[in-house]
């Protein structure tokens, strides 16, 4: 097993094990952090956090990352896991939102574009989408992993700062997105292993 595979498996297992503690702690910190961000609000931070919170901004970064994959042809195959991680994490968040129906802070009501449904608070789809691509980036572009983690963390925090999510919303969304990314990464690795085994078998048969 390669080093990055060991690290990914170890980190994924650690996240799963610590998740109950993280979730419990995040619910406890919901109100204190909401009050803290209310005290430090100012026009400059409002602008910066607003930019990071804008979903279009996240998509722009995703397009840039996707272009890096396409730049080297042999990495284009990772576009599938990258896109699926992003899309499935958002879809799972939508399903959980419709089940839990947690109201947003301060009685804020947001609607989902086109569908017209109420966009509930728990979990944060922004956080899930941002963290969902980290496992794939860790596999193919390790230096970019830390850039994306920093970007994803600011996106998540901006949602609490702007008062549209509780801290527990972004914690659950971040963990969910990261785990979804690991699942699709592992599936792609397994798929490539099977394809390589089939090619090897065909080569042996032809050689006989």
> Which residue would you say has higher pLDDT here, 138 or 56?
138
Own/partner pairs, 183-190, CB within 8 angstroms, 24+ separation: 184/81, 184/84, 184/85, 184/88, 184/135, 184/136, 185/8, 185/81, 185/85, 185/135, 185/136, 185/139, 186/8, 187/81, 188/77, 188/78, 188/80, 188/81, 189/5
The ranges assigned to domains in the chain are: 37-207
- Exposed, middle or buried by CB within 10 Å (0-12, 13-18, 19+), for 184? buried
Q: What is the arithmetic mean of pLDDT over 16-44?
A: 87
What pTM did the predictor assign? Answer: 0.80
- The per-residue pLDDT for range 103-128, each reduced to its tens digit, is 888 776 666 655 566 778 899 988 89
| Confidence check: pLDDT of 66 > 80 | no
Q: Are 23 and 168 in contact (CB under 8 A)?
A: yes
2 — pLDDT class (breaks 50, 70, 90): low
Q: Are 131 and 177 in contact (CB under 8 A)?
A: yes
Q: In the prediction, which pLDDT does 197 show?
A: 53
- The per-residue pLDDT for range 165-174, each reduced to its tens digit, is 999 999 999 9
| Confidence check: pLDDT of 206 > 60 | no
Q: Are 20 and 147 in contact (CB under 8 A)?
A: no
> Which structure tokens are listed for 153?
């963390």
């Amino acid at each position: 097993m390669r080093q990055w595979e060991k690290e990914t498996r170890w980190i994924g297992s650690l996240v799963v094990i610590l998740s109950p503690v993280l979730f419990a702690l995040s619910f406890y910190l919901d109100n204190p952090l909401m009050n803290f961000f209310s005290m430090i609000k100012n026009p400059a931070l409002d602008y910066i956090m607003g930019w990071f919170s804008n979903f279009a901004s996240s998509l722009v970064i995703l397009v840039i990352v996707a272009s890096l994959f396409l730049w080297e042809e042999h990495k284009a195959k990772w576009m599938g896991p990258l896109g699926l991680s992003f899309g499935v994490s958002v879809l799972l968040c939508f399903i959980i939102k419709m089940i839990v129906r947690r109201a947003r802070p301060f009685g804020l009501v947001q609607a989902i574009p086109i569908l017209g449904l109420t966009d509930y608070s728990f979990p944060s789809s922004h956080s899930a989408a941002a963290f969902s691509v980290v496992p794939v980036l860790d596999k193919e572009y390790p230096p970019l992993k830390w850039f994306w983690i920093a970007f994803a963390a600011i996106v998540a925090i901006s949602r609490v700062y702007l008062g549209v999510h509780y801290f527990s919303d972004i914690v659950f969304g971040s963990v969910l997105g990261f785990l979804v990314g690991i699942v699709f990464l592992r599936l792609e690795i397994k798929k490539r292993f099977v394809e390589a085994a089939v090619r090897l078998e065909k080569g042996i048969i032809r050689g006989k």
